[in-house]
Amino acid sequence: MKIKDTVLSDRPREKLQRLGVRALNDTELLAILLRSGTLGKSALDLAREILNLCGSLNNLPALDDQTLTEIKGIKTAKASEILAMCEISRRMAQEASLEVNVIDQPSRLVHWLKKELGSAQQEQFMVVFLNTKNHIIGHKILYTGGLDRSIVHPREVYKEALKVSAARIIVVHNHPSGDVSPSENDHLVTKVLQEAGDTMGIPLLDHLIVSHFGYTSMRQILKKD
């Protein structure tokens, strides 16, 4: 069924005009972005198929151009528009998160980090730089791929912190599997960086492990030990 064959008031664009954008469900919002369907599929059908593939809007950034264009009716142009929308959303979330005290409002930081690293297909290690007010002044991905104690070297981490005159740091890495349980190596990396930070006078506030499904704070775990 084509969208034009549905009841006028049920069409996504007309529903938006009548009830406001917040009245639309995820499928309807994505259908508006797609604009049109293909032979035998409406824009709503395509939107539903995309969301079934990724599970939810939150997981949409995990889809790449190749995966999207494998769906019948999604060509390069539509895939590019979807990916651009995901990137705009990520950058807006980043801007909002960078302006808060990450210690007073840790949920804002975690939300941003899940957007930034949660959908990455490879393990990535990021350093987040903070000023004396615990506001984020920058961040940098230092390593990509399997991480171990020999790869994550305090010298490299704190060299970057000194470049931006950071007062404190938080380190973050993702678990592509979705399981945010810390490994023995995660414990070792945290302790090594803590010791180096105390020596440098740039304390490590936390080591976070994130995925789309949640996060773990090594700081909280070490407090219990």
Looking at the fold, whether 70 and 121 belong to one and the same domain comes out as no
> What is residue 147's predicted lDDT score, i.e. its pLDDT?
62
Residue 12 token pair: 């996504």
Q: 3-class DSSP state for residue 152? A: coil
Q: Are residues 79 and 113 in the same domain?
A: no
- Based on the fold, state whether residues 109 and 177 are members of the same structural domain: yes
Domain identity same for 17 and 48: yes
Using CA atoms of 102, 106, 107, 113 in order, give the dihedral in degrees to the nearest 10.
70
Amino acid of residue 15: K
Same domain, 71 and 145: no
pTM over 0.85: no
Task: List the CATH number of the domain containing 51.
Answer: 1.10.150
- The answer to whether the beta carbons of residues 113 and 81 sit under 8 Å apart is no
Co-location of 45 and 114 in the same domain = no
Number of residues in the chain: 225
Q: Domain boundary at 74, 93, 112, which?
A: 93
Say if residue 84 is in the same domain as residue 119.
no
pLDDT, residue 5, reads: 55
For residues 50 and 153, membership in a common domain is answered with no
For residue 114, the model assigns a pLDDT of: 81
Report the number of distinct structural domains present in the chain: 2
The verdict on 50 and 24 lying in the same domain is yes
Per-10-residue mean pLDDT, the chain, length 225: 53 90 93 89 93 88 90 93 88 64 74 78 90 88 73 90 94 90 91 95 94 87 73
Residues 170 and 216 in one domain: yes
Distance between CA 147 and CA 29 in Å, rounded?
38
**Distances from the Cα of 15 to the Cα of 27, 44, 167, angstroms:** 13, 13, 50
Q: 191 with 143, same domain?
A: yes
Do 144 and 219 lie in a common domain?
A: yes
The H or E element containing residue 211 is strand 204-211
Domain ranges, residue 24: 3-93
